[in-house]
Homo-oligomer: A and B are copies of this chain.
Amino acid sequence: MAELNGNLLVAQSGGPTSVINASVAGVIMEAGHHEGIEEIYGGLNGILGILNEDLIDLGDEKRSAVEGLRYTPAAALGTCRYKIDFKKKPEKAAKDMDRLFEVFQAHNIRYFFYAGGNDSQDTAHKIHLEAVKRGYEMRVMGVPKTIDNDLPCTDHCPGYGSVIKFNATVVTEVGLDVGSMATDDGSCCIIEVMGRAAGWIAAGTVLAKQGDPARPPHIVLLPEIAFDEAAFLAKVKETIAAHKYCIVVCGEGLKNAAGEEIGADKTRLDAFGHAVLAGAAEKLKEIVQGRLNLKTRTVLLGYAQRAAAHFASQTDAEEAYTCGAVAVRAAADGRSGLMPKIVRLSSNPYKWTVELEDLANIANVEHFVPRDWISEDGFLPNEKFVEYALPLIAGEVKVPTKDGLPQYVTLARNPVEKKLAPRA
């Protein structure tokens, strides 16, 4: 198919990762190789910025800045949690969609790339369907991104390898610290990591064991396995007896048998109507201190874990970049409504390739840690998980430093001239 002439627009959505900018770098660098692609624009703060016609000219950015995106965390274009919700707010959604296509037409956008997780792939899918319905020729591609690793169809998601590499490093280091303070009293540390519904992030910290059962983490609590307080306390006691200390990792979305999140603060909801979570680790601390009278401390990594580019996975950054580049090649080749997915060819040695998946199969489907990748007692991911996760953390992204700190890039963000009246 002949290349479609027009401009490219790329935007980012949802929670950032250490490598979502690497995907944008892949889009920009690859776009330069396709004659049909004329201008390369970025949408600020995802859909929200596009609705406001806040576009920037990525063709104006220095090459060094674009290269720097390969090691710069967070969303260099800005991100949002804005949902086009035809079910709950059909009128607003229809109006938003009209506005998006006004912006696309005004700027002759013929290539649209949206990097994000489940909700963002859903948005990309809706835009693709809408383009087809309207007969507006535009190639729409989702670009996978989520530390949560909960997208279906793809072997894993760009962003995941880096978050578990950092978190496993933290578990290793905190384990040495707590272990070195362990006297006969014993002490316990609970490290809370992200992961609302799926426990992939918590599970990934098992890599810190490096094959040694004595090493931390000693207990990993996943949202997939209902929290059993008695069994947990017994496991903590057993661990303290064996090692004099105990490192527990818990996913923020840990649930009891009734399916209620043990640390949920249900008074606040995010833009997607999910409960805002806080405090699974604090809750577990109360339980351990209260029931076992064991000195217990918590670590809440929060945003630090998904932004820790100073120790990001080189494998992850390369895959993220490649997903961006493959999306552009596919679009240039006439494809639309797809998302690049990572296909594993072998685990040892690790070999992978990128193929394409229909967005209809991705949007709003969540992918959980398989039960048979978790030990029978539910307290540790097993060797099947380790085989899966280990290759994803290989290698370190090289980040330049100055005066002892990482030097990340910020884009010049030269605005594209607006052509429309402000959004109503």
What is the interface of chain A, defined by CB distance below 8 A to chain B? 12, 15-16, 45, 48, 72-81, 165, 168-170, 172-174, 176-183, 189, 191, 207-208, 210, 268, 278, 282, 289, 297-304, 306-311, 313, 315, 390, 393-396, 401, 403-406, 408
Contacts and interface: CB of A to CB of B under 8 A. Distances in A.
Contacts of A182: 78
Given A73-B176, A396-B401, A405-B208, A298 B302 contact: yes
Contacts of A172: 405-406, 408
A173 B309 contact: yes
Nearest to A76: B180
Nearest to A49: B183
Which 5 interchain pairs have the tightest Cβ spacing?
A393-B404, A74-B176, A173-B307, A75-B180, A300-B300
Given A168-B405, A404-B393, A173 B74 contact: yes
Given A73-B173, A308-B173, A16 B180 contact: yes
Most chain B CB within a 10 A radius of its CB, from A73, A183, A208 = A183
A208 to B, nearest CB: 7
Given A45-B183, A48-B183, A406 B301 contact: no
B177 A16 contact: yes
B210 A180 contact: no
Nearest to A178: B303
A311 B313 contact: no
A66 B69 CA distance: 39
A306 B177 contact: yes
Contacts of A282: 282
Nearest to A171: B304
B177 A307 contact: yes
A402 to B, nearest CB: 8
A400 to B, nearest CB: 11
A422 to B, nearest CB: 14
A298 B176 CA distance: 24
Contacts of A393: 403-405
B177 A404 contact: no
Contacts of A168: 405
A74 B310 contact: no
A187 B394 CA distance: 33
A73 B16 CA distance: 29
Contact of A300 (B12, B179, B289, B299): B299
